[in-house]
Structure 1
């Protein structure tokens, strides 16, 4: 059975400090690629297999774009997102569905409450219910449906790994990875998610993040358009006050977290980091990735420190901050 790395192949990436006592430790693997694509740093075994979870979304969104889906700006940002379900997010997803001539009922992702606290509270006050369009992956699903309509593919069963959409998506993903996927699993939203090496994921994200909108190659032009769309609309990729949006807004870093402690980032200069926490916790992933980019010289230390102060890294005791979640290096 395919499986991810063992504890013996991991290194300590983060600790939880409570009142000067190290209470918990997060081990994992990480890799940093320099702007030219060479390996700058390896922590643990980056050849190990992982499930990228939502960190795969930039690759899936690019497959939709390459497949002819008319996506740009905010709508392309939503296709790449794990959004927090605000009204602004939902409106953009509805725009994608409208372009496909479809509605919320055509989404195959499960119903969910908004991740944004204010949006959820408002929905509760209005006696609303969880819905498919509020689910954090609804932008990806809407983009997949639009790609199906654009190509004349049946929208029924669009999540099946054997559906033409998913076969096309897998082919694009493997081109970007530079390797064959090792296994196929079902993500939390119901879409296929593919086992890749951490190095392969880093290589794919590096290629996307270093692409130009004026490249002579169509795939790279589309990748450049995708990254530009997210950087110009950072609210789309995550949500107000949420980590991926914060690092994009403050540092110009293209970031996409995934469930089970996965994170990928591309700095403005093209330096790329990918990591996976062995215990599946993502609470330290953003901080560790930023620190790795700082160590690589891609981000200035004062800028990283200021951004870290905006992230949910404090440890509380008696209603006060008594410690912090912090990188272990």
Structure 2
């Protein structure tokens, strides 16, 4: 059976401090790539396979672009997103579906409540329930459906690993990581997700995050457009007050979190980070990635400190702040 790295291959990346007592420790692996692509720092065994989960979405969105889907601006941001389900997000997802000549019933992702609290509360007040369009991967799924309609591919089976769209995505993922997928699994949204080394994930996200729209190569031009869409519309990538959106909005960082404690980031200078928390918790992932970029000299420490203050890292007790989640790298 394929598997991720064992406990012995991990290192401590972050801790949870409560009233001066270290209550919990998050172990994992992390890699920092210098702007030239060389390994600047490796923590733990970064050659062991991980499932990138939603950190693979930039590659899936890029595959949709290279297959001819008409995605740009907010549409392209939503194709890359794990969105919080605000009405603004859902409006764009529906717009992508309309462009494909489809409605929400074509989405094969599970129905879900929006992660955004006010939107969720509003649905409950109206006695409405979970819907597929509110699922945080619905933008990716809408983009996949648009790609299928653009190419005349079947839309009913678009999540089958053997479908032409998924075959194209896998080819592009392997091209960007520079290696064959170790295993194929089913992501939470139902789409295929491919196991790869953490170093391969870092290489792939750096190649996407440093691409130029002026490149002579079509793939790089498309990747440059994708990154620009997220940086110009940071609300699309996740949502108000959420780590990926804050990193893009305040620091110009191309960030994409994934389930089970995965996080990738590319700083404006091209420095890239990929990490995986072994316990699957994502609560310390973004702050740890930002700390690694800062230590690499890719981000200004004072500005990062202000951004970190906006992240949900407070440990509460009795209704008051008694501690914090902090990186130990």
The TM-score, its normalising length taken from structure 2, stands at 1.00
Aligned to 2:65: 65
The residue matched to 2:195 in structure 1 has which SS? strand
Aligned to 2:202: 202
1:268-309 CA distance string (max 9 Å, x none): 111000000000000000000000000000001101110000
Aligned to 1:151: 151
Cα distance between partner residues in 2 of 1:37 and 1:241? 31
Q: How far does residue 20 in structure 1 lie from its aligned partner after superposition? A: 0.5
Cα distance between partner residues in 2 of 1:127 and 1:239? 24
Aligned to 1:89: 89
Aligned to 2:229: 229
Q: How far does residue 324 in structure 1 lie from its aligned partner after superposition? A: 0.2
Aligned to 1:2: 2
Cα distance between partner residues in 2 of 1:244 and 1:252? 10
Aligned to 2:176: 176
Cα distance between partner residues in 1 of 2:173 and 2:146? 19
Cα distance between partner residues in 1 of 2:227 and 2:95? 20
Cα distance between partner residues in 2 of 1:216 and 1:103? 37
Cα distance between partner residues in 2 of 1:306 and 1:48? 34
Q: How far does residue 156 in structure 1 lie from its aligned partner after superposition? A: 1.0
Aligned to 1:185: 185
Aligned to 1:251: 251
CA root-mean-square deviation: 0.4
The residue matched to 1:224 in structure 2 has which SS? helix
Q: How far does residue 253 in structure 1 lie from its aligned partner after superposition? A: 0.4
Q: How many correspondences in the alignment?
A: 329
Equivalent residues in 2 for 1:274-289, closer than 5 Å: 274-289=274-289
The residue matched to 1:12 in structure 2 has which SS? strand
Cα distance between partner residues in 2 of 1:318 and 1:298? 38
The residue matched to 1:275 in structure 2 has which SS? strand
Aligned to 1:130: 130
Q: How far does residue 162 in structure 1 lie from its aligned partner after superposition? A: 0.5
Aligned to 2:269: 269
Aligned to 1:75: 75
Q: How far does residue 18 in structure 1 lie from its aligned partner after superposition? A: 0.3
Q: How far does residue 328 in structure 1 lie from its aligned partner after superposition? A: 1.0
1:242-262 CA distance string (max 9 Å, x none): 111011111010000000000
Cα distance between partner residues in 1 of 2:155 and 2:162? 13
Aligned to 1:98: 98
Q: How far does residue 171 in structure 1 lie from its aligned partner after superposition? A: 0.6
The residue matched to 1:101 in structure 2 has which SS? coil
Cα distance between partner residues in 1 of 2:327 and 2:154? 47
Cα distance between partner residues in 2 of 1:308 and 1:168? 37
Aligned to 1:215: 215
Task: Give the 4+ runs in structure 1 shifted more than 3 A.
Answer: none
Unaligned segments of structure 1, at least 5 residues: none
Aligned to 1:47: 47
The residue matched to 1:302 in structure 2 has which SS? helix
